[in-house]
Amino acid sequence: MSKRGLLTILGARPQFVKAAAVSRQLRAFGIPETIVHTGQHFDENMSDVFFREMSIPTPAYNLNVNSLNHGAMTGRILEQVEEIILREKPAAVMVYGDTNSTLAGALAAVKLHVRVIHVEAGLRSFNMAMPEEVNRILTDRISNLLFCPTDAAVANLKTEGFDGFKAQIVKCGDVMQDAAYFYLDKAKSSSKILERLELRSDFILATIHRQENTDDTNNLKQIIEALNKINNELSVVVPLHPRTRKILDTKGIKPEFTIIEPVGYFDMLMLISNSKLVMTDSGGLQKEAFFFGKHCITLREQTEWIELVEHGFNRLAGADAEAIYNAFCEMVNKKSNFDIELYGNGKASKRIANHLEQWL
């Protein structure tokens, strides 16, 4: 590998989306990149399809680590990434977001005295019960270069004393906005999801995947109860991971709305941009709703994207059926001006590549 080369660690759907935007700019700036796919998300629609659709460089390594508990997954990824770092000798390791792949990649690098770059640094939900919160805090602390998407993210790091650490903080904007804007036209020409499901613009798009909801029977029952009630007024469409569907079957929880298989990124863009309202426990989908001028109800008690709540684009409802339904009634016909710059207006990836050209 070139002395300026990056080793990029990817494993989950949102990381593929972010990498699609950044990798394109790295190529434009002539920065070599080798991609490691940990295999954390192993479903066809949640992994391989992203590399094909979005022209992300084919991973040089695929670790196939999946279907394990947090500790085992993180440990096995760490072990294998360490071997790759020793072989490739990169100038730095770049990680995205807050998954087990993120933390494992960062730990492997720092223990070998290789610099760590964290894209989407500084985000905080302030809920330490979330595995993602633990991952992002630890990854930030051992990173050398922290690319923050928002002013709030920068402020979080400064509050935690990062001005006194040997780490560089850069506000760059959100690379997911870059990807969403760049790929929408391609999605319009290639996706047939709306026709296949016979959807118009009067449907609710909902997703449920956080362990705090899927693994808590009461939370899951409450969310399904609310979605069933809402489905009586507007059609609810839920792309659902097989694992969550199995939990519903096992617990005897009966959805009365439309469940579809997990979809690729382009199909998801079409579902978001044509929906009337988004309801989700995903961090990324909260932002993607905003990118396309849609209000969002977050099925969690906290969010990393506080600016969306502060500006009235997002409403936190938790996992309480009554609160979710009340939020639906409030948000479904709400009118807002989405013409506000919160996430960099599609230029974050170029800012990252430009900074890395000098930093590496």
Average pLDDT value for the chain: 93
Confidence of residue 42 (pLDDT cuts 50, 70, 90): low
The predicted model scores a pTM of 0.88
Whether the predicted pLDDT of 153 surpasses 60: yes
Percentage, residues of the chain above pLDDT 90: 82
* Mean predicted confidence (pLDDT) in 291-306: 96
Q: Which domains does the chain have, with CATH numbers?
A: 6-174+344-359 (3.40.50.2000), 182-331 (3.40.50.2000)
The model's pLDDT over 312-328, given as tens digits with 9 standing for 90+, comes to 999 999 999 999 999 99
* Mean predicted confidence (pLDDT) in 17-37: 93
Print the SS3 string covering the chain. CCCCCEEEEECCHHHHHHHHHHHHHHHHCCCCEEEEECCCCCCHHHCHHHHHHCCCCCCCEECCCCCCCHHHHHHHHHHHHHHHHHHHCCCEEEEECCCHHHHHHHHHHHHCCCEEEEECCCCCCCCCCCHHHHHHHHHHHCCCEEEECCHHHHHHHHHCCHHHCCCEEEECCCHHHHHHHHHHHHHHHHCCHHHHHCCCCCEEEEECCCHHHHCCHHHHHHHHHHHHHHHCCCEEEEECCHHHHHHHHHHCCCCCCEEECCCCHHHHHHHHHHCCEEEECCHHHHHHHHHCCCCEEECCCCCCCHHHHHCCCEEECCCCHHHHHHHHHHHCCCCCCCCCCCCCCCCHHHHHHHHHHHHC
Ranking 44-53, 85-94, 158-167, 173-182 by mean pLDDT, the lowest is 44-53
- What does the pLDDT read at residue 46? 46
- What does the pLDDT read at residue 265? 85
The model's pLDDT over 331-356, given as tens digits with 9 standing for 90+, comes to 999 999 999 999 999 999 999 999 99
Catalytic residues: 209
Confidence of residue 201 (pLDDT cuts 50, 70, 90): confident
